[in-house]
Amino acid sequence: MTGGNEADRIAEALPGSPPGPEQPAAGGVSMTVLWVAVHAFLWVGLGVAMVALVPRFERTFRDFALKVSALTGWTLAVSHWMASYWYVAALVLPPTLAADAAVISLLRRNRAARWLGALWVALLILLPLGLLLAGVLGLSLTLLELIEGLSR
């Protein structure tokens, strides 16, 4: 445990108290490992969506000769890049997750910086979700244009 007074150390050790930086969460897994696993799941999920799902939409857009919006174009470009250079993500992801674990662990150990740790965790959850939302929005707007055009 790091610094702090005796009352803080006793409060952290009490059953039912929230896990501290060195206390395991449920199942004996540390909170750092849990958050890194969540981040990995979200980033890998974003990559899989870009490589596996977006090309299906692109085929539909081509079949109907649709003009795509800038957001849809960006989504398609990112999808092409990820499909072509997937190995870059495979090489970059493990050291990035290790750095993520180091940042979370360091920030959670320092009581004064725990709010920064929470901010870091939230940022790395919201960033892939925001990118996924932007991609879904871009694809959906183009699909709505297609549906509107077909209904005329």
Place of tokens 């174009």: 73
Place of tokens 């970059």: 92
pLDDT band, very low/low/confident/very high, at 5 (cuts 50, 70, 90) = low
More confident residue, 148 or 128: 128
Work out the burial of residue 76: count CB atoms within 10 Å of its CB; fewer than 13 is exposed, 13-18 middle, 19 or more buried: buried
Q: Is the pLDDT of residue 19 over 70?
A: no
Q: Is the pLDDT of residue 15 over 60?
A: no
- 24 φ/ψ angles, rounded to the nearest 5 degrees: -75, 150
Q: Is the pLDDT of residue 59 over 60?
A: yes
Query: What pLDDT, on a 0 to 100 scale, did the predictor assign at position 58?
Result: 94
Mean pLDDT for the chain? 86
pTM of the model: 0.76
Mean predicted confidence (pLDDT) in 19-45 = 79
> Are 63 and 126 in contact, with CB atoms under 8 Å apart?
no
